[in-house]
């Protein structure tokens, strides 16, 4: 409402965040887990009695830390910044709320980022140049800094799903930041942190399998065997703890969001929000089987384990991670900040006011009445402006969650009734659980219905129908 | 190459194992399995596709039985599938898994077939393996065709109607065959009942023993290596024990296939169109499923070159000839060393791949 609308055709702007974020999470969680993997592996190597094996391990760790530095320091960093750009463009309302609440927490996270990047570079470039114990210390400093970045961002992410009663009680009063710690350590903070730490450990092992798979098993069978087997073990904590952590997480999610998980059990009908159920199934199947794949491909055949095997395991991890992040985002519907801000940026307490004054009354960027006679300076209709503001954050017209398809077969009157149903947002409405109410005046409802009807039933088709009716 | 010494489980488990072994001869089975080796070379990846096909068939059996509990053939076919998809708990998932697994299974069988072909694994003594494999592919295709009709929505009804035009084009006996398959002059509830009987009784009864025969042949003769590897001296050829090394990797491939299937079934659940109505015209661009698109398009092209009955007969003859040559390739390319026949067979295989891919793509392009 208060910001311009960032129109991404086909994909929708939400997926810009999604694609960058999933890519980022695959790398950043490796950065955290790998931050522990490296010093632990180095410590293990230094403790080895067999000098040849020790030297081989350390040489391999030099390779792995180079890979680690480039992947996390370049791609992790760039994609992390990419998320900033994407969320600012896609959902400036929500980003504004998060910044107002957590700006100093975020600033602290950036301090840890600087420590992380510096220590990662120092760790790599001082191999065999400084005392081994000091080198290990550098590794541990990196690990600690990296973990702190996760500890901080986890608070902000989980706040969006469960801001907590305390923060909600002061939301909109200007005193939100006074409840920083309540918002930070919100109901889903701890289960989410434990889940993510487990995932970080798994990703550390999985990415290590990528570099370990490139060891020549014929020339260095002992090295490859020991490293591959040790890396696979990093998946075990996640496999064991995940079911319990997921149950804990589910129990801390509000009942209204828990209900979203059940929507897809008995149907995939058009207009049903079955995606959370379906994504949850992908998470369960992938998480349950990835250890088996790693065990049979890597642990029991370490010398034969090659790069394509390692990439297969990585792709499974990508599936699990992507499905996890996607379902976490979908679980928040109809909110972007639970109980405070709907997905389309409308704040819950402002609904009544907007219904009275009209949606476009406070949407200068989307519909600025600077033209002659109160018309808009923009070149689209009121209906389209309302669509962009109220529907565009989750729907496209012809791409992702396409409204032309979802409303197919409905005529103008039917679409109007549908929008009225969304406007009334009664508790027994089938869309109440996952869609924000349509906010605005009766005129806004009509303008939106007119626009959507024109998209679903284009004028040529409408003329054809009218002709056929006349002929009958 | 890694070696694994299979150690017997200890303690009580050992006693149980011995008791079962005495009665069922497990040690003999293990010795047989250990005896078999799998060649290791740059093309070893293709050895997994037979196992992937088998896994997907097992998924079909499992999901098929679950669907069988609620599916009602005949007049209520569409309604029963609607209930499975939109009412039963996770009915949509079982149906989606079944539909996706069917497509993936046929894809895996085709990849398996082509990899066997190009590795010349149809040569002596594996001719029966090739022939039984071709029969399995044929039955799998009929599985696909018969199963496709069962939901009785618009798409399946018209796709079957169009598909049955192919057998009805056979000179003299074609119309009778098509009528027998349809259970009447038109596709309807009798057709569904016949296809259902075919899909859940007749075809499994043919497929399972043939599959067992096919697997026994693979165990008996082992995996063939490409001619370039077979020509190497024995000391330069690498291999791994089938049990447990290859089997472990095979299991991992099964788990990966399961994940691919889960992803497809969950992210792209199989839709159900409108109920079939024989009185409405076929939707524009109706076409068979992708594995029948190639013959469908080839017949269309030939029909354009030679219109009318001549075109239909020419198309069928050409197609039948092509399949016959393909099936009989072990009797043409029998040599061990590469020679003229071996090269000709190789080029024939490449021609088949190009033809199949291009006609499938053109077929989809034409229906846009």
Burial B306-330 (b: 16+ CB within 10 A, else e): eeeeebbbebbeebeebeeeebebb
CA atoms within 13 A of residue A40's CA, in its CB half-sphere: 17
CA dihedral (A225, A231, A233, A239) positive or negative = negative
Instruction: Spell out which residues of chain A touch residue B256, defining contact as CB-CB under 8 Å.
Output: 293, 312, 316
Q: What angle do CA A332, A17, A142 make, to 5 degrees?
A: 95
A191 neighbors A283 (Cβ within 8 angstroms): no
Q: How confident is the model at residue A466 (pLDDT cuts 50, 70, 90)?
A: very low
Q: How far apart are CA A451 and CA A385, in angstroms?
A: 9
Q: Lowest-confidence range among A189-203, A290-304, B155-169?
A: B155-169
CA dihedral (B4, B9, B14, B20) positive or negative = negative
pLDDT at B308 over 90: no
pLDDT at A456 over 70: yes
Q: How far apart are CA A464 and CA A459, in angstroms?
A: 9
Q: How confident is the model at residue B3 (pLDDT cuts 50, 70, 90)?
A: very low
Q: How far apart are CA A236 and CA B272, in angstroms?
A: 41
Å between B42 CA and nearest CA of chain A: 12
- Quick one: which of A242, A142, A251, A247 has its CA closest to A197? A242
What is the model's pTM? Answer: 0.90
Helix then strand then coil, % of chain A, to nearest 5:
70, 0, 25
Q: Mutation target for A interface from B252, B269, B270, B271: give the one with most A CBs within 10 A.
A: B252
Closest partner residue to A293 (CB to CB) among B245, B256, B266 is B256
SS3 A439: coil
CB atoms near residue A333 (< 10 Å) = 20
Q: How confident is the model at residue B2 (pLDDT cuts 50, 70, 90)?
A: very low
pLDDT at B5 over 50: no
Average pLDDT along chain B: 90
Average pLDDT along chain A: 92
pLDDT at A163 over 60: yes
Asked if the bond preceding B334 is cis, omega within 30° of 0, the reply is no
- Please name the residues between 312 and 351 in chain A that touch chain B, using a CB distance below 8 Å: 312, 316, 319
All residues at 6 or more sequence positions from B294 whose CB lies less than 8 Å from its CB, including other chains: B355, B356, B359, B360, B363
pLDDT at B33 over 90: no
pLDDT of residue A361: 87
Burial A452-466 (b: 16+ CB within 10 A, else e): bbbbbbeeeeeeeee
| Interchain CB contact of B6 with A (< 8 Å) | no
SS3 A138: helix
Q: How far apart are CA A286 and CA B11, in angstroms?
A: 34
Q: Mutation target for B interface from A274, A276, A296, A330: give the one with most B CBs within 10 A.
A: A296
Q: Do A297 and B244 touch (CB under 8 A)?
A: no
A160 neighbors A94 (Cβ within 8 angstroms): yes
**What's phi and psi for A378, nearest 5 deg?**
-85, 170
Percent of chain B with pLDDT over 70: 96
SS3 A58: helix
- B253 burial (CB, 10 Å; 0-12 / 13-18 / 19+) is buried
**H or E segment to which residue A133 belongs:** helix A132-161
Q: What is this model's ipTM? A: 0.88
Which residues share a beta bridge with B318? none
Closest partner residue to B258 (CB to CB) among A285, A302, A303 is A285
User: Average of pLDDT values for B318-343?
Assistant: 87
Domains recognised in chain B with CATH numbers: 34-222+237-278 (1.20.810.10), 287-368 (no CATH)
| Interchain CB contact of B88 with A (< 8 Å) | yes
Q: Do A268 and B89 touch (CB under 8 A)?
A: no
pLDDT in tens, A83-101: 999 999 999 999 999 999 9
pLDDT of residue A377: 54
Q: Do B251 and A292 touch (CB under 8 A)?
A: yes
A12 neighbors A308 (Cβ within 8 angstroms): no
pLDDT at A241 over 90: yes
Q: What CA–CA distances, in Å, run from A315 to A203, A305, B42? A: 11, 16, 22
Q: How far apart are CA A388 and CA A345, in angstroms?
A: 12
Residue A377 DSSP one-character state: S
Burial A135-152 (b: 16+ CB within 10 A, else e): bbebbbbbbebbbbbbbb
Å between B262 CA and nearest CA of chain A: 6
Asked if the bond preceding A334 is cis, omega within 30° of 0, the reply is yes
Q: How far apart are CA A61 and CA A48, in angstroms?
A: 14
Q: How far apart are CA A402 and CA A456, in angstroms?
A: 10
Asked if the bond preceding B76 is cis, omega within 30° of 0, the reply is no
Instruction: Spell out which residues of chain B touch residue A274, defining contact as CB-CB under 8 Å.
Output: 92, 269
Å between A295 CA and nearest CA of chain B: 8
pLDDT at A356 over 60: yes
pLDDT of residue B9: 53
Q: Do B258 and A282 touch (CB under 8 A)?
A: no
Per-residue H/E/C for chain B:
CCCCCCCCCCHHHHHHHHHHHHHHCHHHHHHHHHHCEEEECCCHHHHHHHHHHHHHHHHHHHHHHHHHHHCCCCCCHHHHHHHHHHCCCCHHHHHHHHHHHHHHHHHHHHHHHHHHHHCCCCCCCCHHHHHHHHHHHHHHHHHHHHHHHCCCEHHHHHHHHHHCHHHHCCCCCHHHHHHHHHCCCCCCHHHHHHHHHHHHHHHHHHHHHHHHHHHHHHHHHCCCCCHHHHCCCHHHCEEEEHHHHHHHHHHHHHHHHHHHHHHHHHHCCCCCCCECCCCCCCCCCCCCCHHHHHHHHHHHHHHHHCCCHHHHHHHHHHHHHHHHHHHCHHHCCCCCCCCHHHHHHHHHHHHHHHHHHHHHHHHHHHCC
Q: Do B252 and A296 touch (CB under 8 A)?
A: yes
């Amino acid at each position: 409402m208060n910001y311009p609308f960032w129109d991404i055709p086909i994909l929708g702007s939400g997926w810009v965040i999604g694609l960058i974020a999933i890519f980022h999470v695959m790398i950043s969680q490796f950065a955290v887990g790998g931050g522990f993997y490296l010093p632990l592996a180095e410590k293990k190597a230094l403790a080895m009695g067999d000098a040849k094996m020790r030297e081989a391990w350390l040489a391999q760790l030099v390779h792995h830390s180079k890979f680690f530095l480039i992947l996390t320091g370049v791609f992790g960093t760039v994609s992390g910044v990419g998320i900033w750009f994407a969320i600012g463009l896609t959902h400036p309302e929500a980003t504004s709320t998060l910044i107002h609440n957590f700006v100093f927490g975020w600033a602290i996270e950036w301090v840890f980022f600087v420590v992380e990047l510096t220590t990662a570079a120092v760790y790599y470039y001082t191999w065999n140049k400084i005392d081994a114990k000091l080198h290990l210390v550098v590794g541990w400093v990196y690990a600690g800094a990296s973990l702190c970045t996760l500890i901080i961002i986890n608070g902000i992410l989980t706040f969006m799903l469960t801001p907590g009663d305390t923060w909600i009680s002061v939301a909109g009063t200007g005193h939100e930041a006074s409840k920083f710690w309540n918002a930070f350590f919100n109901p889903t903070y701890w289960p989410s942190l434990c889940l993510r730490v487990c995932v970080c450990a798994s990703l550390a092992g999985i990415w290590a399998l990528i570099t370990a798979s490139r060891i020549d098993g014929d020339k260095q069978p002992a090295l490859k065997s020991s490293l591959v087997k040790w890396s696979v073990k990093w998946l075990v904590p996640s496999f064991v703890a995940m079911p319990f952590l997921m149950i804990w997480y589910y129990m801390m999610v509000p009942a209204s969001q828990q209900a979203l998980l059940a929507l897809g059990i008995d149907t995939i009908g058009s207009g049903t929000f079955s995606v959370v159920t379906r994504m949850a199934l992908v998470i369960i199947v992938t998480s349950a089987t990835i250890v088996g794949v790693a065990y049979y491909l890597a642990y029991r055949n370490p010398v034969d384990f090659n790069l394509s095997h390692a990439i297969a395991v990585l792709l499974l991890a990508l599936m699990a991670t992507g499905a996890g992040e996607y379902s976490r985002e979908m679980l928040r519907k109809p909110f972007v900040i639970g109980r405070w801000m709907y997905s389309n940026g409308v704040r819950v307490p402002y609904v009544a006011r907007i219904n009275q004054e009209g949606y476009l009354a406070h949407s200068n960027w989307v519909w600025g009445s600077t033209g002659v006679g109160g018309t808009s300076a923009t070149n689209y209709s009121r209906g389209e402006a309302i669509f962009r503001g109220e529907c565009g954050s989750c729907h496209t017209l012809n791409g992702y969650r396409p409204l032309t398809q979802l409303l197919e077969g409905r005529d103008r009157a039917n679409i109007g009734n549908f929008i009225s149903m969304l406007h009334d947002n009664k508790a027994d409405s089938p869309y109440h659980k996952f869609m924000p109410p349509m906010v605005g005046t009766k005129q806004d409802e009509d303008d939106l219905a007119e626009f959507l009807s024109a998209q679903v039933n284009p004028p040529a088709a409408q003329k054809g129908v009218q002709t056929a009716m006349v002929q009958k | 190459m890694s070696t694994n010494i299979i150690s017997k489980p200890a303690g009580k488990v050992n006693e149980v194992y011995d008791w079962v072994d005495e009665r069922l001869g497990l040690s003999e089975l293990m010795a047989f399995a250990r005896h078999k080796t799998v060649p290791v070379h740059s093309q070893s990846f293709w050895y997994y596709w037979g196992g992937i096909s088998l896994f997907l068939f097992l998924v079909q059996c499992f999901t098929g039985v679950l669907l069988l509990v609620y599916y009602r053939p005949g007049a209520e076919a569409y309604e029963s599938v609607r209930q499975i998809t939109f009412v039963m708990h996770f009915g949509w998932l079982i149906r989606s898994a079944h539909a996706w697994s069917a497509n993936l299974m046929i894809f895996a069988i085709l990849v398996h077939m082509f990899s066997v072909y190009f590795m010349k694994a149809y040569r002596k003594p594996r001719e029966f393996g090739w022939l039984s494999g071709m029969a399995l592919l044929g039955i799998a295709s009929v599985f696909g065709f018969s199963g496709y009709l069962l939901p009785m929505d618009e798409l399946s009804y018209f796709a079957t109607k169009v598909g049955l035009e192919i057998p009805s084009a056979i000179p003299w006996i074609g119309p009778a065959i098509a009528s027998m398959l349809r259970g009447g002059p038109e596709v309807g509830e009798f057709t569904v009942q016949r296809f259902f009987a075919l899909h859940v009784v007749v075809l499994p009864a043919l497929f399972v023993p043939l599959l067992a025969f096919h697997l026994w042949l693979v165990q008996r003769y082992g995996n063939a290596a490409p001619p370039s590897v077979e020509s190497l001296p024995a000391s330069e050829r690498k291999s791994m024990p089938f049990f447990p090394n290859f089997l472990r990797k095979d299991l991992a491939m099964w788990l990966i296939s399961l994940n691919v299937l889960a992803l497809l079934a969950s992210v792209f659940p199989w839709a159900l169109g409108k109920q079939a109505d024989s009185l409405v015209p076929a939707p524009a661009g109706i076409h068979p499923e992708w594995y029948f698109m190639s013959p469908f398009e080839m017949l269309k092209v030939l029909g354009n070159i030679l219109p009318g009955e001549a075109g239909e007969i020419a198309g069928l003859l050409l197609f039948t000839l092509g399949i016959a040559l393909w099936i009989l390739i072990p009797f043409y390319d029998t040599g061990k060393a590469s020679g003229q026949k071996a090269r000709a067979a190789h080029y024939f295989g490449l021609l088949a791949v190009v033809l199949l891919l291009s006609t499938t793509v053109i077929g989809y392009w034409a229906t846009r």
